[in-house]
Chain A
């Protein structure tokens, strides 16, 4: 499958990796997981805020809940962005050619990430800081977070499209822009699985956030909601999210293109699935017993999520490795042979230059010719108009009047109306000017 004429084999950046590959991969996975947790909280937080605020139209308690979640979005989004820099840096380093090629192929939408996310961020601030001033115009206020949420829902499709496309160089030739890359198998299942993750992780976050001892819960909710009720909401979303994640996770497995699948990969994915099941089970249990003031399962849920994330991050990386390593080998060989060719060409060019210099040693006008080639040849040639008049014409004007020629070169005037202005060459030394003029006037 790899030996196809439709699979491009570019050359790699011919500089050594700045760190051992295992270290780069570890940093990539760890920093990516940190980043993705906050992304989950940012996206999930906006969805939940939107939902709670709509319910809040009828039931005021939910409006307070929405406000509380909204306050976390702007913090989580800041952390999501900074934490995203490290995985970006690492994937750029380890997979330069693959990642940048995918970026370019989806380039227009890829760069739109910047203005879109900026707008979404500004909207979340607007939404948060206008909570009181827009009390009377709730629907407009809700549509602000609605717009931000839509953007937040759209952006992950761009990232998923890119990290998917980068693994399939054999498909690059078929792709014309973002939409066609989006349509490659496996992007949508991964997207659905991601969305489910946003819901589940934000649900768990909601429980943990409201379990904090120093969180002035009663002051905020004025007794309208009890902690248990809010935590139940969190568990409810956790159950929903985990269940959906398992379902979509299966879909991901079945739509994975076979080229990167190995037994180890299936093992990792199964382990990730089991961790999710554990989290689901405990969340479900908590939903039933939370009224008895029991948070006994929260720690276990968090641990299962962390374990899940590790398997999830690991399986992503393993698949990427499997999918690309043959191609990477080809690319390395291609790079090496190109560098060899380039080196030979360099040496050959050096030899030719030495030969040329030997030849010009016998040429009395060699020095002048060099100055001419360097400074004038782009605009002047022997007997043809380029930008300025040909040398022949210069000679006809200045033959026998070397001083005037030098004067013109130093500070040219404006003569021919249909020619542009010639730049002056005041910085040429007297010797250079002398050689140059003699060279020009040698064309009788």
Chain B
């Protein structure tokens, strides 16, 4: 509407955000929030294990340091950049929603930034002074305390971000209050936090075990002890992770109901919901088996086993993110803005006058036979393109062909009826916002896509057209009082 539309016509726009975000969550949870306390705990063990004339067990300390080095390098490069990347990609693909969220959450994000700066400074200090702190017991203990501080700060960054994520799913009372505290009081906040905290620890423990099994040779005197410690850590976290997951899982349907009123959505959701249960059971029991094995018979641990458990817990975390994403649909900000970036409250206007009239980057003055396909393309861009491509992932021709049969020419009337009712048929899709003529044009465009196999380029390649209704001249003219008080008479028949 008000932003030029970036669009990836093969990969799918949502996919871009999803890849970056999932990578970030894995790194943030597994290598920062959960990993730091794990490392500090091991570092302290090293001091405890040391013989009385040593500050720390040097060999042990060196392995722990090398694990931290890996986490340090990854979190300060891939971790940091994917964090920025979520923002970049979301701003490209959903500028209206991220722009709105920032207005609400500016101070939350600002505080988040302060915490984040502190976190990075602490991680730099913690990692870069590791070796030099081994000179005296006093400085080693201070170093360990730094580690605990760092752990707390990484947790706080997560606690703030979860408020924003929770908010997007269910803004609670925000639609009436518009207050940022709603993010923290919304019903999903606490369950998410209680889920993410132990799961991060669990992922970190498994990941730590994986690193040990890869980095430390079988002959090394500390290998088994390190594996056993990781096993203990994992076993301690599993009950909390299970409880957190069940709690979160239990409150999900209520959150979902707020978004999905109708039946079909419920069915789709139920399938995911069932799947989640298996993931909880599957991932946690694999972790449990590997954890017990590590504690009871660490010599039997092989890298493959840990790798499988690692994939399991990543999948566990990933599927919860996927469902969270799913529950949110058709909204991008619950109850306020649909995933097509149109605000719910503007719908009556769009449905009456059409959307193109209000789209800043539509070249269409009025829809005619000649410009119908172009108009259709613009309608598609403004109403479907955030979730559908033309021919690629979740391609529009493909989803229609799945309904009507492969390579059968589309039937315009059937498509029209479907699109008009698509929200009740598939609740994860927002209602169609345009008017009759636009629906006509959209259908003609999609039919044309099927025949020609044409694709759709985003503004990053094709540039923009400027609306005859929304340019500087037009807006300045409508300043005259006689114009501005008159409602447009387009379709008030």
**What residues of chain A have their CB less than 8 Å away from a CB belonging to chain B?**
2-19, 27, 74-75, 78-79, 81-86, 88-89, 92-93, 96-97, 100-101, 103-108, 110-111, 113-115, 117-118, 121-122, 125, 170, 172-177, 327, 330, 333-334, 337-338, 341-342, 344-346, 348-349, 373-375, 377-379, 381, 384-387, 418, 420, 423-425, 427-428
Is B461 in contact with A4, judged by CB distance below 8 angstroms? Answer: no
Is A8 in contact with B425, judged by CB distance below 8 angstroms? Answer: no
Is A385 in contact with B102, judged by CB distance below 8 angstroms? Answer: no
Is A121 in contact with B76, judged by CB distance below 8 angstroms? Answer: yes
At the interface, yes or no: B402 with Cβ under 8 Å from chain A?
yes
Nearest 8 pairs between A and B by C-beta?
A378-B425, A107-B460, A349-B348, A345-B349, A378-B421, A18-B106, A121-B77, A10-B2
**What residues of chain B have their CB less than 8 Å away from a CB belonging to chain A?**
1-6, 16, 20, 73, 76-78, 80-82, 84-85, 87-89, 91-92, 95-96, 98-100, 102-107, 109-110, 113, 116-117, 120-121, 124, 128, 178, 261-264, 266-267, 343, 345-346, 348-349, 351-353, 358, 360-361, 402-405, 413-414, 417-418, 421-422, 424-426, 458-468, 470-476, 478-479, 484, 487-488
Chain A contacts of B113 at CB under 8 A?
82, 85-86, 89
Chain B contacts of A333 at CB under 8 A?
475, 479
Is B460 in contact with A177, judged by CB distance below 8 angstroms? Answer: yes
Chain B contacts of A341 at CB under 8 A?
349, 487-488
Which of A14, A420, A423, A425 lies in contact with B403, CB distance below 8 A?
A: A420
Chain A contacts of B82 at CB under 8 A?
114, 118
Q: A374-B262, A387-B418 are in contact. Are A8 and B361 (CB under 8 A)?
A: yes
* C-alpha gap A89/B87 in the complex (Å): 10
Is A428 in contact with B263, judged by CB distance below 8 angstroms? Answer: yes
Chain A contacts of B110 at CB under 8 A?
27, 86, 89
Is B102 in contact with A114, judged by CB distance below 8 angstroms? Answer: no
Besides A82-B120, A100-B92, A122-B77, 9 other A-B contacts (C-beta < 8 A): A5-B468, A8-B360, A8-B466, A18-B102, A92-B91, A103-B95, A173-B466, A176-B462, A377-B424
* C-alpha gap A385/B413 in the complex (Å): 9
The total of Cβ contacts below 8 Å across the A-B interface reads 273
B73's nearest neighbour on chain A, judged by CB, is: A125
Is B472 in contact with A374, judged by CB distance below 8 angstroms? Answer: no
Is B4 in contact with A105, judged by CB distance below 8 angstroms? Answer: yes
Which of B99, B266, B358 lies in contact with A96, CB distance below 8 A?
A: B99
Is B117 in contact with A83, judged by CB distance below 8 angstroms? Answer: yes
* C-alpha gap A257/B460 in the complex (Å): 24
B429's nearest neighbour on chain A, judged by CB, is: A378
Is B461 in contact with A177, judged by CB distance below 8 angstroms? Answer: yes
* C-alpha gap A214/B50 in the complex (Å): 31
Q: A15-B178, A114-B81, A381-B417 are in contact. Are A427 and B263 (CB under 8 A)?
A: yes
Expressed in whole angstroms, the minimum distance between the Cβ of A406 and any Cβ of chain B is: 15
Chain A contacts of B351 at CB under 8 A?
349
Which of B77, B405, B417, B471 lies in contact with A9, CB distance below 8 A?
A: B471
Which of A7, A12, A106, A337 lies in contact with B471, CB distance below 8 A?
A: A7
B2's nearest neighbour on chain A, judged by CB, is: A10
A87's nearest neighbour on chain B, judged by CB, is: B113
Which of B3, B103, B413, B476 lies in contact with A100, CB distance below 8 A?
A: B3
Q: A93-B103, A105-B463, A342-B346 are in contact. Are A3 and B472 (CB under 8 A)?
A: yes
Which of B80, B264, B348, B422 lies in contact with A81, CB distance below 8 A?
A: B80
* C-alpha gap A197/B105 in the complex (Å): 34
Is B266 in contact with A427, judged by CB distance below 8 angstroms? Answer: yes
A81's nearest neighbour on chain B, judged by CB, is: B80
Chain B contacts of A423 at CB under 8 A?
263-264, 267
Expressed in whole angstroms, the minimum distance between the Cβ of A14 and any Cβ of chain B is: 8
Expressed in whole angstroms, the minimum distance between the Cβ of A70 and any Cβ of chain B is: 14
Which of B5, B348, B424, B466 lies in contact with A378, CB distance below 8 A?
A: B424
Is B5 in contact with A9, judged by CB distance below 8 angstroms? Answer: no
Chain A contacts of B80 at CB under 8 A?
78, 81-82, 121
Is B461 in contact with A17, judged by CB distance below 8 angstroms? Answer: no
